[in-house]
Structure 1
Amino acid sequence: MTETKTALITGANKGLGYEIATGLGAKGYRVAVGARDGARGEAAVKALRAAGVDAYAVPLDVTDDHSVAAAAQLIERRGGGLDVLVNNAGISGETGPGWVQDPTTLDIDAVREIVDTNVFGVIRVTNAMLPMLRRSPSPRIVNISSSVGSLTWQSDPEINVGPVMAAYSPTKTYLNAITVHYVRQLADTNILINTACPGLVATDFTGGVGRPAQEAAATPIRLATLPDGGPTGTFVNDDGVIPW
């Protein structure tokens, strides 16, 4: 008898996170729906269960140490372990016309808030969940990044990488960098850690601009379900490898 695997997705109550939860649930995973807002998390769980997904809500604010620790304890109590972690929760911060974040006028407190969610939040959650992931026979970590975090593409004038987003984009560069160091540190384990760029997704995050979240969830779901011996330390989108 195959034991059910459990996947935690942060920011899973809507948008891309919800579609990742839906996709993993359809593959037979028990889904822990991480959500900062408890009511929205419960609503997402209700919808997932109606679709036949084994799901439960996990109150989770990735910027709060106590919330993250409590989430880990809840997952431990509910299932005794964790097999997949998808670090999806993220914010873009305020932007000007054309989504521009001008580096010459950045509010440092605003930048700090974005880093706390997009980078420190990933570190908090990953480190809290690692003890359970280490016990899994096939643990996977997927960090949701973006091509705007690619220094190679951002610095190439021939490549259209979108508007200047001097607060948001560097958080994805930082996320990419910390992912590389997790890969190095955990190289002697069976944990596969990869970074996914879902592209521009039509969610609240983008004001409804972009492709359907269900379509964008395909690459993160693929990385979350890689076979043993699969790739680790990659930065990819639907088309393949993205340069760091």
Structure 2
Amino acid sequence: MKTALITGANKSIGFEVARQLLNEGFYVYLGSRSLENGLEAVQSLKNEGLDNVQIIQIDVTNQESIDSARAEIIKHSEVLDVLINNAGINGGMPQSALTSSVDVFKSVYDTNVYGVIRVTQAFIDLLKKSSEPRIVNLSSSQGSLTLASDESNKFYHFKGAVYQSSKAALNMYSIVLAYELRETLVKVNMVDPGFTKTDFNNHRGTGTVEEAAKRVTKYALIDNNGPTGKFYSEEFYPDGVECPW
């Protein structure tokens, strides 16, 4: 049975990705910063008859928490097939390049960028033991420099200096990560789940969590002939067409 770790999976898109992977026959480590919220999420899935799920308490901004999560997973398996770096924050709005404090930048980057780095580095040895290892980093079309500077883009006026730059930084990290892993079986891809109606945007989004999760799950399930180092935003570019950087 394949295994997957999903960070920030106690609600919204991460929770639905967990559900979809469970339905695909995975054993899911449901990552949650809050133990209580994670346990509630696990029980909710088990109430649906999806039993192959386990809470993993993990705070991606805390190395000790990540190390503890790794130790807990190793108790069950020394192989991890899929890592989905889903945990993220937006830092609150509005965000200005002129007035947003460096402290806000640091806080958002600590989760959206450094958190991904911490978790990836902690679990890469387990992933390399898999026959089909996959890393899916949740990005955003807002992290595309091309789209952000395109006045015809429907989200052109939705600017957030902190959040957007964190996702652009995540994209570059992911490119380099995929490059360094190019001679291994590990596939690394960035996926924009789309403007989804969740707590993340105060439910202003237009897409569903089911649709968003399908976009993420798709790249967790690719075979060894699948892409790596690519950036996908099906909201803008359907049918596997790459999103511009």
- Common topology (TM > 0.5): yes
Alignment equivalent of 1:84, drawn from 58, 82, 85: 82
Q: CA deviation at 1:227?
A: 1.2
Q: CA deviation at 1:214?
A: 1.1
Q: CA deviation at 1:209?
A: 1.8
Distance 2:86 2:46 in 1: 21
CA contact (8 A) 1:192 1:233 kept: yes
Tell me what 2:21 maps to: 24
Matching of residues 98-177 of structure 1 within 5 Å: 101-162=95-156, 163-177=158-172
Q: CA deviation at 1:125?
A: 0.3
1:129-163 CA deviation, whole Å, 9 max, x = no partner?
10100001110000000000001111122223241
Q: CA deviation at 1:5?
A: 0.5
Distance 1:31 1:234 in 2: 24
Distance 2:92 2:192 in 1: 21
Tell me what 2:37 maps to: 40
CA contact (8 A) 1:142 1:194 kept: yes
Give aligned pairs, total.
Answer: 237
1:62-93 CA deviation, whole Å, 9 max, x = no partner?
00000011111111112332100000000001
Distance 2:172 2:49 in 1: 37
Tell me what 2:174 maps to: 179
Distance 1:192 1:51 in 2: 31
Aligned-residue Cα RMSD (Å) equals: 0.9
Q: Say if 2:217 is the partner of 1:216.
A: no
Tell me what 2:242 maps to: 241
Q: CA deviation at 1:179?
A: 0.2
1:21-41 CA deviation, whole Å, 9 max, x = no partner?
000010000000000000000
Decide which moves more: 15-24 or 148-157.
148-157
1:100-141 CA deviation, whole Å, 9 max, x = no partner?
x11111111011000000000000000001010000111000
Tell me what 1:232 maps to: 228
Structure 2 unmatched ranges of 5 or more: none
Q: TM-score, normalised by structure 2?
A: 0.95
Q: TM-score, normalised by structure 1?
A: 0.95
Q: CA deviation at 1:237?
A: 2.2
Distance 2:199 2:141 in 1: 19
